[in-house]
Structure 1
Amino acid sequence: MRRLPPLTAIEAFVQVARLGSLKAAAEELSLSSPALSRRVQALERFVGRPLFERRHQALRLNDDGERLLAQIAPAIDRLSDAVETMMSGTEVMRLRLNVLPLFAAQRLIPKMPALRARHPQLHLDVDTGGHSLARLGDGIDVAIILAPMVEPAFYARRLDRNKVHVIGARSLVDGPNPLVEPRQLSRHTVLVHRDMPDTFVEWRQAAGLDELVPMAVDHFDSGSLMLEAAAQGIGVAFMLESHYADARDDRLVKLFDLDVDSAYSYWFVCRPRALNQRPVRIFHDWLIEALGAV
């Protein structure tokens, strides 16, 4: 039988590679940073080449490290699941899901009890970090993203179609100088999500107001914070119809009676081969049914 490096060295390598930080990986594994560094170095000595580019306190995978991670990370995840199944005495299927926090809070978590009742053996590890498509197959099995389209290298299923809503605080229409005309936005701050940078431009063009310039455009990477900022009167949010409807926040109102189709949709995305994995297929089929996806 061929020799293998210590499992502890492989585990250390995978954690550092995924987290991009020796300190964060050490905390995850309950080790000191020097102890973790020695384990990573032991693996590098075993394979006979460096696996990281070392820059001050940060570690970044080099090309050899990327290739090794792509081959061994899925095996480590399956090994972890197998041990968990043995310890629990029941079959455990684990899905590693990347999802935007607002979608998770509004549309996924409320439906999760039904998924648990139907498939009690399926468990989700939820990740809300960025760069989801780049991490598919490496620590992430499935991503739910917000985008106009998905490149054909991935399997993608559109989960909805939406319209752009202009959302603001109720005080904007109930106050002494109500906001009733789109041109009045020139006196207001516009709030735009970084994952939907063209939303305001789409709406402005559809409204025939190409010359409209708001007081400012502020960008957010959190839909929940955008809704709260709008409710507090900090700005006027350009978001999707589903975001407004699912918020169910009496402090918010839809501004202007203007329907504009959005180019952005939520998508279920995975690598094509991942559909052969039972947890992925179960979650995919349940999600499509639960959302009534288009």
Structure 2
Amino acid sequence: MAARLPPLGTIEAFAAAARTLSFTTAARELNLTTSAVSRRVAALEASLDVRLFHRLNRALRLTAAGDKYLAAIGPAIEALRAAGAAIRPAARGSRLTLCVLPSFAALWLLPRLADFTTSHPSIDLRVATAPGAPDAGRGDIDLAVAIGTGDWPGWSAERLLPMRCRPVCAPKLLRGPRGLKAPADLRHHALLGVARPRGFWRRWCVEAEVPPFRPARTLRFDGLHLLYEAAAGGLGVAMAFDDLVQPYLDDGRLVEPFDISFAPSESWWLLHRNRDARSQGVRSVRRWLKTEAAR
């Protein structure tokens, strides 16, 4: 008689904990409590009659048996996910989650999302936000958009939007005895940027052939939305990223004081997993995002 399989939920909990080496992180991925993940792993160990983890003080480490088991079940888990993706188009509808930076959601995605829901009524597209690219092992994320150079483990990346960096400010900063008339005038003003990634002001100064200088002060913000709002309020001069700042330029809240820009090595990238490439829903979202980006 063939041995009975352990419950799939226990295997899923083990795989998430083994990948992250944290019951807490695995619990967040699986939308479970930490204690529930711990209990499921313990149940799997009891079912297999083998210890899979060394439980250290606030840390996990795979045992030799755990490492061997993870390597063995990995292809099976991928096969199950691929099987689900392959039959998904036959379902009445599909629910997908797109993970993006909060500023990308507010300034680019949300103004366009109503058009997507109208043109794709069978796809329930959920939007999640994170400060960077999510772990490719997260089962609750189907696609993502992130800033970088295109290299994220576990993700297939395709360039979505180029970036062109240039200063922007409120119109009032162009006026007065210290108004912005030339790049050298920046030393009289606060320079605004994002907390991550850094270095864009320095690279712009090289492009503009502006000698090093000490600005009145520097301020950094957690996202582009906050950055542009601060600049529109007259707090200083912000380093802008192409399409996301366009609504502020269109309504006149921000202006470009100088016609000097540079294209960084970073871009906006659209991320998906190869195993999901056959999913009709994933293909539809990718196609829509790329069409919108090309407008």
Q: Is residue 254 of structure 2 the alignment partner of residue 252 of structure 1?
A: yes
Does the C-alpha gap of structure 1 residues 219 and 136 become closer, same or farther in structure 2, counting only changes over 3 Å? farther
Q: Is residue 189 of structure 2 the alignment partner of residue 184 of structure 1?
A: no
Alpha-carbon distance in structure 1 between the residues aligned to 2:9 and 2:138: 22
Contact 2:99 / 2:144 at 8 angstroms: preserved in 1?
yes
Alpha-carbon distance in structure 2 between the residues aligned to 1:42 and 1:256: 64
TM normalised by structure 2 equals 0.74
Question: What secondary structure does 1:202 align onto?
Answer: helix
Measured against aligned partners, the alpha-carbon deviations of 1:171-216 in whole angstroms (never above 9, x if no partner) come to 3224553233222222333222244423212211110014234344
Contact 1:96 / 1:139 at 8 angstroms: preserved in 2?
yes
Q: Is residue 247 of structure 2 the alignment partner of residue 237 of structure 1?
A: no
TM-aligned CA deviation for residue 266 of structure 1: 1.4
Contact 2:101 / 2:145 at 8 angstroms: preserved in 1?
yes
Matched with 2:289 is 287
Alpha-carbon distance in structure 2 between the residues aligned to 1:227 and 1:237: 7
Matched with 2:274 is 272
Does the C-alpha gap of structure 1 residues 152 and 123 become closer, same or farther in structure 2, counting only changes over 3 Å? same
Paired letter, 1:205: V
Measured against aligned partners, the alpha-carbon deviations of 1:256-282 in whole angstroms (never above 9, x if no partner) come to 232333433212122334322222211
Contact 1:196 / 1:264 at 8 angstroms: preserved in 2?
no
Question: What secondary structure does 2:157 align onto?
Answer: strand
Measured against aligned partners, the alpha-carbon deviations of 1:142-174 in whole angstroms (never above 9, x if no partner) come to 221222444798533222333212122333224
Kindly report which structure 2 residues correspond to 1:125-204, keeping only aligned pairs within 5 A, or say none. Answer: 125-132=126-133, 134-135=135-136, 138-150=139-151, 155-175=156-176, 177-204=178-205
Contact 2:102 / 2:131 at 8 angstroms: preserved in 1?
no
- Structure 1: gaps (5+ residues): none
Does the C-alpha gap of structure 1 residues 186 and 69 become closer, same or farther in structure 2, counting only changes over 3 Å? farther
Alpha-carbon distance in structure 2 between the residues aligned to 1:38 and 1:152: 29
Contact 2:78 / 2:275 at 8 angstroms: preserved in 1?
no
TM normalised by structure 1 equals 0.75
Measured against aligned partners, the alpha-carbon deviations of 1:24-47 in whole angstroms (never above 9, x if no partner) come to 948x8676x655533332233334
Matched with 2:43 is 42
C-alpha RMSD over aligned residues? 4.1
Paired letter, 1:42: A
Question: Which deviates the most, 44-53 or 161-170?
Answer: 44-53
Does the C-alpha gap of structure 1 residues 8 and 135 become closer, same or farther in structure 2, counting only changes over 3 Å? closer
Alpha-carbon distance in structure 2 between the residues aligned to 1:127 and 1:275: 20
Question: What secondary structure does 1:95 align onto?
Answer: strand
Kindly report which structure 2 residues correspond to 1:199-238, keeping only aligned pairs within 5 A, or say none. Answer: 199-238=200-239
TM-aligned CA deviation for residue 245 of structure 1: 0.8
Question: What secondary structure does 1:132 align onto?
Answer: coil
Contact 1:97 / 1:124 at 8 angstroms: preserved in 2?
yes
Contact 1:136 / 1:142 at 8 angstroms: preserved in 2?
no
Alpha-carbon distance in structure 2 between the residues aligned to 1:128 and 1:258: 32
Alpha-carbon distance in structure 2 between the residues aligned to 1:217 and 1:229: 12
How many residue pairs end up in the alignment?
A: 286
Question: What secondary structure does 2:270 align onto?
Answer: strand
Contact 1:167 / 1:255 at 8 angstroms: preserved in 2?
yes
Question: What secondary structure does 1:224 align onto?
Answer: helix
